[in-house]
Amino acid sequence: MAITQEEFGRRVDGTIVPRFELVAEDGLTVGLIPFGAIITDVSIPAESRHPVNVVLGLSTLDDYVERNKPYFGAVVGRFAGRIGGAEFTLDGTTYRLPANDGASCLHGGTVGFGRRLWSVESIEENQLMLRYVSKDGEEGFPGELTTDLVVGVEQGEIRLEYRATCDAPTVLNLANHTYWNLAGDDSGTVEDHVLSVVADRIVPCDAERIPTGDPVPVDGTPFDLRSAARLGDRVGSKDPFIVDAGGIDHTFVLADGPRVVPELGATLVDPASGRRLEVWTTEPALQVYTGNDLDGSLRGPSGVSYERRAGVALETQHFPDSPNHPSYPSTVLRPGEVFLSKTMYRLFSSV
C-alpha cells in the first residue's frame, strides 16, 4: 500500500488542492481530492491494456468547483438526499434550508459538503483522514458539526468510515456519490450491467422525489432486485415511479436501522468484462440512481462525454426527508453522541 500526492489545482484564493493516490498491492488505485472529499477515479488492472477507470469524474479542479452538478465522487451532506419543503422541525424549532432542487433542499443545500474544502488530518501507510467542520447555521442547519472521514484502500477494497459529533442537536445523513461503470468510464451506458440489491422494500415517493410514507414491498415491481436484473430492462419500465424519475432514483431499504457490522447491500456486475462490485455497509438504505439526468454536457478525463446512464450511483445512507418522517430511522444527532458509519466497496476482476 502506498499513498502519493501531487497538486491537482488551485482555488481562486491560491489555496493548493492536492490529489492523493492510494495504491493497493494488487494495483487497485484510488484518486481523491479534499475538495468535497471527492473520489476522482478508481482504476483496476486490466489484461492487455492500461488500467481501467471504473468511476465517472472530471478533469480539473475548476470543473469540480463549477460544473459538478451530478456530484461525481463527492461526499454529500450535511443531509444527503432531499428534505421536502426545504425545512424541518427539531425540538420544536423549525429550520429553513436553501431550496436548491425545486421546493426541496438536496444534498445539504447550495454549498453542501461536496463543495467544501476538507482538511487533511493524517496520512498513514494505508489510509488518510479528512475533516470538515460545518459551522452552526451553515445552509440553515443547527449546531456545529465535526465530521471525520477515513479512506482506506486494501487489496480489492475501498473503505469509507465516517465519524461525526456536534455541539447542539442537529440532523445528519452522509453519502458518497460515486458513479460506477465497471466497463470503464469511457465505455458508454451501464444498461447492460446487472444489479442485485438486498432489499424487500423501497421508500415510496412523489414526482418531486419526496417520500410519501412508510416503505412498501418490492414484490411484483421493477424494484425487486433481490434476484439480479439487467439495468436497461428495469429503467425502461412503465412503472409510474420509474417514469416520474426518468429511471431509478429510489431508496432501497436494507434494514430497519443502522447496523454495527457492515452487511452486503448490493452487487453490480458487468457481464462483458466479468468485473463485479459488492457494496457492504452499516447504513439502513441504499439510494440507487441510474444517471437519469446526465446529458452529454460533461466530459471525463478520457475526453468521452457522459451521456444518460453513463454510470450508476450506489449511495449508502439513511432515508431521504427523515426529519419530516418520525417513523423513519432517526437522523438526529445530539451533543455527547457519536455518529459512526462504514461502507466498503469490494471490487473483483476477471483478470
Q: What is the pLDDT of residues 221-244, one digit of tens each?
A: 999 999 999 999 999 999 999 999
- Cα 275 to chain centroid, rounded: 20
* Averaged pLDDT for residues 7-34: 96
The residue segments making up the domain with residue 129 are 2-348
Judged by DSSP in three states, 138 sits in helix
Provide CB contacts within 8 A for 137, sequence distance 6+: none
* Averaged pLDDT for residues 115-140: 96
Q: What percent of the chain has pLDDT over 70?
A: 99
* Averaged pLDDT for residues 102-119: 98
Q: What is the DSSP track for 52-85?
A: EE-B---SSHHHHHHH-TT-TTPEE-SB-SEEGG
Of 21, 315, 318, 325, the catalytic one is: 315
Grid cell digits, residue 229: 436484473
Higher pLDDT, 120 or 50: 120
Distance, in Å, from the CA atom of 144 to the CA atom of 137, rounded to the nearest integer, reads 8
Tell me the pLDDT band of 281, cut-offs 50, 70 and 90.
very high
Tell me the pLDDT band of 73, cut-offs 50, 70 and 90.
very high
Determine the pLDDT at residue 22.
Answer: 97
User: Is residue 351 over pLDDT 60?
Assistant: no
* Averaged pLDDT for residues 122-138: 95
Distance, in Å, from the CA atom of 191 to the CA atom of 247, rounded to the nearest integer, reads 11
Determine the pLDDT at residue 45.
Answer: 85
Domain holding 117: CATH number?
Answer: 2.70.98.10
Q: How many domains does the chain have?
A: 1
6 is known as an active-site residue: no
Of 177, 193, 250, 318, the catalytic one is: 177
- Cβ count near 136 (within 10 Å): 13
User: Is residue 48 over pLDDT 80?
Assistant: no
Q: What percent of the chain has pLDDT over 90?
A: 96
**Mean pLDDT lowest for which of 48-62, 70-84, 212-226, 270-284?**
48-62
What is the reported pTM?
Answer: 0.97
Determine the pLDDT at residue 107.
Answer: 98
50 is known as an active-site residue: no
* Averaged pLDDT for residues 280-288: 98
